[in-house]
A and B are shown apart, each in its own frame.
Chain A
Amino acid sequence: MKNDKMMWATLAHLGYNMWGDENHRYIRNTLSHLSTQIMRVDKKYWVEYTNYMASLGLNTLIIDVGEALRYESHPELALIDSWSREEMEKEIDRLHSIGFTEVIPKLNFGAGHDTWLKIYDHMLSSSVYKQVTADLIHEACDVFKAKHLHLGMDEEHYRFQNENRRGLAIVRQGNGWWRDLYHLVDCVEKENARAWVWSDPIWYNPEEFVRKMPKSVIQCNWYYGSEFENPQNTGLDHDDRTYLECFELLDKHGYYQVPTGSNCYGAEENMVDLTKYCQKHVSNEHLLGFMDAPWSAARKSSKERQFRSADHLAEAKLWYETNTK
């Protein structure tokens, strides 16, 4: 039976220091995703963008918070223009008032996406890191009154932290990664919220993933391509086939999912086709909604991609509601 509380979610970025280090002396090559000391959010555009999404009937906003909040527990993480708790709470109220039924914080703790943690991104798995992450999760849950918190944890491989991106590469592997994940999930669950993660670890080691990933954690598997034919007998390349098959694999093993699509690689039809694919291959019971991730800063220069992306999600929603019993 169709889930009437489906989340139609967009991932929007207030924090954007998620990839490379700042353009300082440790980095030799330039990179578009270097970290900066000021926020990359055009506030006027942010309001326009979120109003537009709400007007399309999209009901969930996932905010990649990162360095955008001046945490009272860790003000040392703030940029000069990070929002105060009061500013963030006011914005969350506004987002609720325009129609978002849920505003979900995302703090990406993946080692390749945590430059927003400043010095603490050199301290993973340490006693200090455990305390800081617990503090930040507690505060984010408190500010957002969160029922869910997205922990990120994607792309933790050396290639995402090579010498063109990071002065110091840190990669948690095997149980080193799982131990920190369990700690983070525990922190979220202590706040009576539910943890989300990106699901890409299942691409590389499905057997270990289903053995170790708690069923309580919501899964965001993603696929941004344009090919959706039956992965068993078509010309899909190996990676695309793996990404698609994992939607079914997660379902088979009882995980709740919010499949994620994007037009970031130019596949404008991706979101609608992904919705059709998952409606067919993921059980209604485990399908909590869909997420669209345009992967761009909230700036007017991104308007075209982001508005198109919102349109695609709205179209997907309409298709799903029309074609699902």
Chain B
Amino acid sequence: MGNTAKMKAAIIDLCTNLWFENGNELAKTNDPLRFASKKLRCDRALFDEYTEYLAKCGINALILNVGDALRYETHPELAVEGALSIDEMKKEIERLKSLGFEVIPMLELSTAHDEWLRDYSHMIATPPYYKVCADIIREICEIFEPKYMHIGMADESADYQMEYEYMAVRHNELWWHDLYFFLDRVQGEGVTAIVYGDRTWGRSEEFIKGMPTTAVIANRYDGHLDPEKLSCYETLAKDTYRQLPAYVGAPNAQNLSMLDEYVKKVIPDEKLLGCILIADAVCDPSRREELFAAADSIKGI
């Protein structure tokens, strides 16, 4: 992004209870970080080092996937062992700002990534679920005082959850109903919502009909040249959505450059707010190499 006013954001998963249940025997992966844990899995020293490196790489915004990494005043039952207190989170936000970052909170509210909601992830679309979501969105906004908040909503399909012990998929208008509920809560705090764009894959007509243009769309690209996913950038641009293309980094550095050129061509400059780097790794020492490689991959963009 030649324009320095554009956002160059990186997502960091403070919360890692986003995929398989603890003890899940169906999952084919051997990656222990993909299974839920009762403990916070963000290594403090690595987090500090990584965030400083991201700043050096030109990243100017951090999207913190908070989930169960914060001890909410309204719902302390969600916190993992080692979760940050509200004061600790506020101090961290100040430190990150001092490094030059805009700090954007994220709560991944897709049913494919909500293991962190514990019992409430088994209460989708019920009054207790709506209450907990509303409460924590409000609390997050109070703590972060953000301009943007990322609400995720990725991968909510049966195919994605075939190895989960608890598959939950909202269909049709229920998915939209819940999305509107979340958007209403975020926008009610005077904050702009960022939503992943995969709902547009294969059903762009429905997406454009349903998605308010007030939301910023983060369409993801993982380096595999999928014409349909790529064309969504253009489709969304035609329909006046503001976009933050999300690049899955590290092994696809060359593709990222090509993608960057592509999105600049198809998305009008005023609608292209910047980009998001998804390192797809948590701040665990075993992932150090991947994290830093992902950061390097975005240097040229």
Contact = CB atoms under 8 A, between A and B. Distances in A.
Contact of B172 (A27, A129, A176): A27
A122 B119 CA distance: 12
Contacts of A174: 24-26, 165
Contact of A175 (B126, B165, B168, B173): B165
B24 A169 contact: no
Contacts, number: 85
A168 B165 contact: no
User: Which 5 pairs from chain A and chain B are nearest by CB?
Assistant: A176-B165, A163-B171, A126-B122, A167-B174, A174-B26
Contacts of B165: 172-177
B46 interface: no
Contacts of A28: 172
A169 B168 contact: yes
Contacts of A128: 119, 123, 128
A169 B167 contact: yes
A175 B20 CA distance: 12
B239 to A, nearest CB: 23
Given A26-B172, A167-B172, A169-B171, 19 more contacts: A26-B173, A26-B177, A124-B122, A126-B119, A128-B123, A128-B128, A166-B171, A168-B168, A168-B171, A169-B158, A170-B166, A170-B167, A171-B166, A173-B164, A173-B165, A173-B167, A174-B26, A175-B25, A176-B166
Contacts of A173: 26, 162-167
B124 A168 contact: yes
A102 to B, nearest CB: 35
Interface residues of B, number: 29
A25 interface: yes
B170 interface: yes
B125 A167 contact: yes
Interface of B: 21, 23-26, 119, 122-129, 158, 162-174, 177
Contacts of B26: 173-174
Contact of A125 (B24, B122, B172, B177): B122
Interface size, A (range)? 20 to 34
B161 to A, nearest CB: 8
Interface of A: 25-28, 119, 122-129, 158, 162-163, 166-177
Contacts of B124: 122, 168, 170
A174 B25 CA distance: 7
Contacts of A127: 119
6 contacts: A26-B172, A122-B123, A123-B123, A167-B174, A168-B171, A174-B165
A124 B166 contact: yes
A119 B174 CA distance: 14
A167 to B, nearest CB: 4
B174 A168 contact: yes
A177 B127 CA distance: 24
A9 B21 CA distance: 40
Contacts of B166: 124-125, 170-173, 176
Contacts of B170: 167-168
Given A122-B124, A122-B125, A170 B168 contact: yes
Contacts of B163: 173
Nearest to B26: A174
Contacts of B164: 173, 176
A313 B125 CA distance: 43
Nearest to A126: B122
Contacts of A170: 124, 166-168
A176 B25 CA distance: 10
A168 B170 CA distance: 5
A123 B171 contact: no
B128 to A, nearest CB: 8
Nearest to A24: B173
B58 to A, nearest CB: 42
A93 to B, nearest CB: 37
A173 B158 CA distance: 12
Given A125-B122, A174-B26, A176-B21, A158 B167 contact: yes
Nearest to B169: A169
Contacts of B177: 26
A161 to B, nearest CB: 8
A162 B129 CA distance: 22
Contacts of A177: 165
Contacts of B125: 122, 167-168
A119 B126 contact: yes
B122 A25 contact: no
Contacts of A122: 123-126, 129
Max chain A C-beta neighbours (<10 A), residue from B127, B163, B172: B172
